[in-house]
Each structure stands twice: as C-alpha cells, then as structure tokens.
Amino acid sequence: MLIWNVALGYLAGPALNVTPLKRMRAGVLSWLSIRLNASETNTDLECRAVVLSRLSIRRNTLKTNAGLECRAGVLNWLTIRLNAVEIYADLECRAGVLSWLRIRLNTFKTNDDLECRAGVLSWLRIRLNTFKTNDDLKSRARVLSWLIIRNNSYKMNADLECRAGVLSWLRIQLNAFETNADLECCAGVLCLLSIRLTRLKRMLIWNFALEC
C-alpha cells in the first residue's frame, strides 16, 4: 500500500519534469491504463503517448513485443486517425512501428488501416527511395497493388510511373507473375506508360522540326 500511495502521489504531483519520475509514470500508466484498457479520458491517453514517445520510441528502448504493440495502438488512435503528425520524425517513427507490426505479420484489421499504412509508406519510401531490403519493396508493391491498381485510384502520373517501376523490377525482371490478372494489370500499366512516353517523344521531335 505504501508503494502504491507513493506512486499515485507522483502521478498527481507537479514533479514529472524529472526524467526518473517520468519513467516511473510511464511504467505505472502502462500497467494501469494500457494493459487494462482503463484509460478514462483522452487526456490520460495523450499523456501516456507523450511519455512513451520520449522514453521508448526516440531512445529505442522497447523491451518486449508487447511494449511495441502497446505503443503502436496508442499512436494509431492519436496520430494517424486524427492526422496529428507534427513533425517528420514522428511520421517516420510511426511508419517503422507499423512496418514491423502489420506489414511483416500481415495483421491488417480493416481497409482503413491498410489505406492509412499505404499513405504513410508512400510518402516515406516511394518518394525518398529508402527501401532497405527486397522484402520491404515486395511488401510495398503488394499493398499498392491492392489499393491503386485494383481500385484505379491513381492521383497523378508520378504515382503511376512509380508503381510501374516497382512492378517492373519485381515481376517483369523476376518473372514472378502469380496470376493472369496480375499479368494483365502490369501489362496495362506498362502499356499506358509506353504510349505516353511515345507521344511525348513524338511531340518533342515535331517541335524540333518546326523550329528548324
């Protein structure tokens, strides 16, 4: 009881600016709120997320898989769903957590989670070309295939060209077509790209000829 009262006293006190006390605060809240799903208010949840962000993610001090899953659940509710990603570091941190939890384990629960994950990875990896391994590239291609190719939801030509480049490296050169639908899909994308490039080259030739 004495330890319990001391812990609760630290929780309510203003001395949380000290790093050891913040660590104790995180441990107490982890046992009370996250593991028991007993977060009473949004303020408690936000407090928990801020403490864990500074202690665990930034310092890479996640001790167990349970701690990582707990952190991902908190961030999913706070940042991605609310679009409250403040800095690029937070976005990269979030992407790393979800990559280990959902892409590798294939534990997508809803289409919204999949679309959210694809959007984060699109900004981080496709645009920055920061694919670390072939597995990451293959995983990304499968996600984009379901979201963009099948749904025909290309937003701009850059997305289409990026997708075609990924598929070209994965399927054309490796001859890893799984189904006829995948082959037709890839062929359609590459055909559309080649037609556009051919038209662009012809226009450049015509303009050059007219100038001469």
Q: Does a structural domain hold residue 119?
A: no
Pseudo-torsion of CA 40, 41, 44, 49, nearest 10°? Answer: 110
Written as six digits, the tokens of 110 are: 């809803």
Confidence at residue 21, expressed as pLDDT on a 0 to 100 scale: 56
Q: Does a structural domain hold residue 61?
A: no
Q: Are 177 and 183 in contact (CB under 8 A)?
A: yes
Kindly report the pTM of this predicted structure: 0.17
Task: Classify the C-alpha dihedral 165-170-175-178 as positive or negative.
Answer: negative
pLDDT tens for residues 44-83?
Answer: 555 555 555 544 444 454 455 555 555 555 555 444 444 5
d(CA 23, CA 25): 5
pLDDT tens for residues 85-95?
Answer: 455 555 555 55
- Contacts of 15 by beta carbon, 8 Å cutoff, 6+ apart: 21
pLDDT tens for residues 100-121?
Answer: 444 444 554 555 555 555 555 5
Residue 108, amino acid: F
Q: Which domain holds residue 196?
A: 131-212
Q: Does a structural domain hold residue 187?
A: yes
Query: Is it the case that residue 206 has pLDDT exceeding 60?
Result: yes
Q: Does a structural domain hold residue 106?
A: no
The tally of CA atoms less than 13 A away on the side-chain side of residue 17 is: 2
Query: Is it the case that residue 191 has pLDDT exceeding 50?
Result: yes
Give the highest mean pLDDT range of 40-54, 123-137, 171-185: 40-54
Q: Are 137 and 166 in contact (CB under 8 A)?
A: yes
- Of 137, 211, 127, nearest to 176 by C-alpha is 137
Coil, strand or helix at 85? coil
Confidence at residue 66, expressed as pLDDT on a 0 to 100 scale: 52
Q: Does a structural domain hold residue 3?
A: no
What does pLDDT average to over the chain? Answer: 50
Give the residue carrying structure tokens 């189904």: 179
- Of 33, 100, 92, nearest to 62 by C-alpha is 100
Query: Which pLDDT band, with edges at 50, 70 and 90, does 7 fall under?
Result: very low
Q: What is the mean pLDDT of residues 26-35?
A: 50
Q: Does a structural domain hold residue 168?
A: yes
* Total number of domains constituting the chain: 1
Q: Does a structural domain hold residue 16?
A: no
Residue 127, amino acid: R
d(CA 79, CA 141): 25
Note the helical H segments in 38-156: 42-52, 65-75, 88-98, 111-121, 134-144
Q: Does a structural domain hold residue 53?
A: no
